[in-house]
Chain A
Amino acid sequence: GAVVSQHPSRVICKSGTSVKIECRSLDFQATTMFWYRQFPKKSLMLMATSNEGSKATYEQGVEKDKFLINHASLTLSTLTVTSAHPEDSSFYICSAWVQNTEAFFGQGTRLTVV
């Protein structure tokens, strides 16, 4: 199946700094990329939907200035957590999707803010 590469898999950062997470579709072009956040023992919570070349659509309650999403090409989307705080510590997962077909997920990024 198709491969989605998410990097880094783990990151520890100091409070107040920014962290960038990359999501790449390696062997296909994705119409849309989704960013999810997952709390311990919970299902995935959709944060935002991004389409190449346009602004991301954020879910209610997700701060767009805090979680900056850039979708520069059909194979790359980035999520930047700005001015990170300990409450931003979580598991973040991206997904790449060609509309109405199968969705493929990255391996996730464990963010710890200290």
Chain B
Amino acid sequence: KQEVTQIPAALSVPEGENLVLNCSFTDSAIYNLQWFRQDPGKGLTSLLLIQSSQREQTSGRLNASLDKSSGRSTLYIAASQPGDSATYLCAVSAGNQFYFGTGTSLTVIP
């Protein structure tokens, strides 16, 4: 069964810093990988979707990479802002299933 792990579980950085969130998965047979953001008590907002044939996707200050062979993805956030504070979740899809990571709780300190 696919297992998705995110490191670190929590991260606190000063405003303006660039940061990297990590996601690893055990089975490389995936269709795509998606990064989400979740604010407290809210649903999930999709940030980036990387198809299995792609290596990276960019949206504004966010850049996500995918290395299927090593079972890793990273989410890079440039010039972090207090508004980036949230929990970030990665998820991989395979077959008709969606597997979520454990999440990274990010706090950006003004």
Contact = CB atoms under 8 A, between A and B. Distances in A.
- Classify chain A's interface size: 20 to 34
B12 interface: no
Interface stretch (B41-49, B61-69, B77-85): B41-49
Contacts of A107: 42-43
B41 A103 contact: no
Contact of A91 (B32, B41, B103): B41
A105 B44 contact: yes
Interface in B1-43: 31-32, 34, 36, 41-43
Which of A34, A44, A46, A99 has the most C-beta atoms of chain B within 10 angstroms of its own C-beta?
Answer: A44
B93 A103 contact: yes
B9 to A, nearest CB: 10
Contact of A49 (B44, B97, B100): B97
Interface of B: 31-32, 34, 36, 41-46, 49, 89, 91, 93, 96-98, 100-103, 105
